[in-house]
């Protein structure tokens, strides 16, 4: 008996592709699968167990495409970049009007926009979809950020909603806008992920190096935080990691891990795109930069022996203070991320719905936390200037927690314990809460050496001054 045509095709049976295919099969969809290395396919089907009855395994692109119901929905879970372009070249001649191909990888949204444009006019549609939650999320409920046409979303929606994580019954997936909107939002999600991870690592650092706490003790503190306003997936995994022992040495696992962090690029893209739009996400930038510095291990080892610390006496703040400091900084880092999203929404005409983005980040994704529900509510209510830090609920929380962030950053500065992301978020807060900043002097400098002109506080228009002449007259 030949199997009925499949609802969706999954190309790429790596970790994420396999997990999504099984998730789809479990939710009752008929899934066609294939993989570039055909020898992986049999293993996958064997591992699928009883779900195998929902799966059609194919070993050529032609048979894969023909196994699908029309209009077709094909999810590519392959390395981003050139492989995606190669797959588009290969599959496009096999597609018909109305078919949709989806890139579910962590793609650069600029490439997604280009691919979307490439397909428009061919009759086929291109979707860039950010998928968050790692392997477990993909298998049991990811958060998904979808970009592309309304037509593609209609096709994909029932399947995406069925496999997504749920927050109080609400599926954590949404169509966020056209072309690269989904991949852009996923990129900023990852930027916030970098900042959150870095801030947790900074608090670990001040407790380890400033207060002499061992890893399990710090892990136990983080575990306590899980029952408060910092409750989140990243605190949960950090608490567990810090309390895990290495079976080989009986030392805390984190003590035998080399302090050199990897990165695949999405955090960096957030910062690059922010800067291109004249924005700054300084807490995210600090986190990306800190990963870069971490890889300069040999230099740091030399520097430790030659650079003097010049430290000052200070006490490491208590656990409760650190908890409040992180709460303030976490709000600020998210606010920076949302500001970048707002700038991109305007630049690319996406009309991003910040409340909905907050909602689909409440479960399934790596940055899921108790705060995201508060953010969703803040965006649903009227937001002065559209800025999260001006939401009344955030204003109130920041008023309570900023003193703790100041004490923590001050202690880090005095003790010589680096807190790049925590201090960047505080500096940004202090910049934003000043109606009158110091850019008037920047404008004077620019006009002095380059006649760039400036605006005045008391008159309309653009002005120049002959600075040397004025200075000599004044002397």
Task: Please give the residue ranges that form the binding site for ligand 6PG (CB under 6 A).
Answer: 106, 132-134, 190, 193, 262-264, 266-267, 365-366
- Which one, 120 or 263, has the nearer CB to ligand 6PG? 263
Q: Where are the alpha helices (DSSP H) in 251-386?
A: 266-276, 282-294, 297-306, 319-348, 354-360, 370-380
Give CA–CA dist 104/183, Å, rounded. Answer: 9
Return the closest-CA partner of residue 137 out of 369, 368, 365: 365
CB of 236 to ligand 6PG, least distance (A): 15
CB of 340 to ligand 6PG, least distance (A): 16
Which of 27, 39, 186, 202 does the annotation list as catalytic?
A: 186
Give CA–CA dist 181/189, Å, rounded. Answer: 12
Return the closest-CA partner of residue 102 out of 122, 80, 128, 121: 128
Give CA–CA dist 259/209, Å, rounded. Answer: 14
Q: Are 263 and 273 in contact (CB under 8 A)?
A: no
Return the closest-CA partner of residue 47 out of 69, 25, 62: 25
CB of 260 to ligand 6PG, least distance (A): 13
Around Cβ 392, how many Cβ atoms within 10 Å?
Answer: 12
Handedness of CA 263, 265, 268, 270 (dihedral sign): negative
- Which one, 330 or 407, has the nearer CB to ligand 6PG? 330
CB of 131 to ligand 6PG, least distance (A): 7
- Which one, 148 or 267, has the nearer CB to ligand 6PG? 267
Residue 22 tokens, joined: 């099984």
Give CA–CA dist 329/259, Å, rounded. Answer: 23
Give CA–CA dist 375/334, Å, rounded. Answer: 9
CB of 366 to ligand 6PG, least distance (A): 4
- Which one, 132 or 243, has the nearer CB to ligand 6PG? 132
CA distances from 315 to 141, 412, 417, 419, 422 (A): 43, 9, 12, 15, 17
Helix, coil or strand: residue 74: strand
Longest distance between any two alpha carbons in the chain, whole Å? 98
- Which one, 165 or 402, has the nearer CB to ligand 6PG? 165
Whether residue 136 lies in the annotated active site = no
DSSP letter for each residue of 142-210: -EEEEES-HHHHHHHHHHHHHHS-EETTEESEEEEESTTHHHHHHHHHHHHHHHHHHHHHHHHHIIIII
Which of 3, 69, 161, 193 does the annotation list as catalytic?
A: 193
Whether residue 186 lies in the annotated active site = yes
The residue with its CB nearest to ligand 6PG is 132
- Which one, 19 or 91, has the nearer CB to ligand 6PG? 19
CB of 265 to ligand 6PG, least distance (A): 6
Return the closest-CA partner of residue 375 out of 167, 153, 164, 104: 167
Around Cβ 151, how many Cβ atoms within 10 Å?
Answer: 13
- Which one, 16 or 398, has the nearer CB to ligand 6PG? 16
Counting beta carbons within 10 angstroms of the beta carbon of residue 122, is it exposed (0 to 12), middle (13 to 18) or buried (19 or more)?
middle
CB of 232 to ligand 6PG, least distance (A): 13
Strand order of the β-sheet with 8-11 is 55-57, 31-34, 8-11, 73-76, 100-103, 125-132, 143-147, 173-177
Give CA–CA dist 227/70, Å, rounded. Answer: 48
- Which one, 190 or 369, has the nearer CB to ligand 6PG? 190
CB of 137 to ligand 6PG, least distance (A): 6
CB of 105 to ligand 6PG, least distance (A): 9
- Which one, 288 or 394, has the nearer CB to ligand 6PG? 288
- Active site positions, annotated: 186, 193
């Amino acid at each position: 008996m030949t199997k009925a045509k499949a609802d969706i095709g999954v190309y790429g049976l790596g970790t994420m592709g396999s997990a999504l295919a099984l998730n789809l099969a479990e939710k009752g969809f008929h899934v066609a699968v294939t993989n570039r290395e055909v020898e992986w396919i049999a293993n996958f089907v064997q591992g699928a167990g009883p779900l195998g009855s929902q799966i059609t395994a194919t070993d050529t692109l032609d048979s894969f495409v023909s196994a699908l119901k029309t209009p077709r929905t094909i999810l590519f879970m392959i390395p981003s970049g050139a492989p995606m372009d190669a797959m588009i070249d290969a599959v496009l001649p096999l597609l018909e009007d109305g078919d949709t191909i989806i890139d579910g990888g962590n793609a650069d949204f600029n490439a997604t926009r280009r691919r979307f444009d490439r397909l428009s006019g061919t009759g086929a549609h291109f979707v860039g979809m950010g998928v968050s939650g790692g392997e477990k999320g993909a298998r049991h409920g990811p958060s998904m950020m979808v970009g592309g046409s309304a037509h593609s979303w209609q096709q994909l929606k029932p399947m995406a909603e069925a496999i997504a994580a749920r927050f109080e019954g609400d599926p954590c997936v949404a169509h966020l806008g056209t072309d690269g909107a989904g991949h852009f939002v996923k990129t900023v999600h990852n930027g916030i992920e970098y900042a959150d991870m870095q801030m947790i690592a900074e608090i670990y650092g001040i407790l380890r190096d400033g207060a002499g706490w061992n890893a399990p003790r710090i892990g136990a503190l983080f575990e306590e935080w899980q029952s408060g306003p910092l409750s989140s997936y990243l605190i949960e995994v950090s608490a567990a990691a810090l309390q895990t022992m290495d079976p080989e040495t009986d030392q805390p696992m984190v003590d035998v891990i080399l302090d050199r962090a990897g990165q695949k690029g999405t955090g960096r893209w957030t910062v690059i795109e922010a800067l291109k739009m004249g924005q700054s996400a300084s807490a995210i930038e600090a986190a990306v930069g800190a990963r870069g510095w971490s890889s300069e291990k040999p230099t740091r080892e030399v520097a430790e022996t030659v650079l003097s610390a010049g430290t000052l006496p200070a006490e490491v703040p208590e656990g409760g203070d650190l908890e409040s400091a992180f709460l303030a900084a976490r709000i600020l880092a998210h606010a920076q991320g949302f500001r970048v999203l707002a700038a991109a929404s305007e630049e690319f005409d996406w009309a991003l719905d910040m409340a909905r983005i907050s909602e689909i980040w409440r479960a399934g994704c790596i940055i899921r936390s108790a705060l995201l529900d508060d953010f969703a509510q803040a965006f649903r209510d009227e937001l002065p200037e559209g800025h999260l830090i001006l939401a009344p609920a955030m204003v109130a929380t920041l008023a309570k927690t900023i003193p703790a962030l100041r004490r923590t950053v001050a202690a880090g500065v005095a003790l010589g314990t680096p807190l790049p992301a925590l201090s960047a978020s505080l500096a940004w807060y202090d910049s934003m809460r000043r109606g009158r900043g110091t850019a008037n002097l920047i404008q004077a400098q620019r006009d002095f050496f380059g006649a760039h002109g400036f605006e005045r506080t008391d008159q309309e228009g653009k002005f120049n001054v002959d600075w040397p002449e004025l200075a000599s007259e004044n002397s």
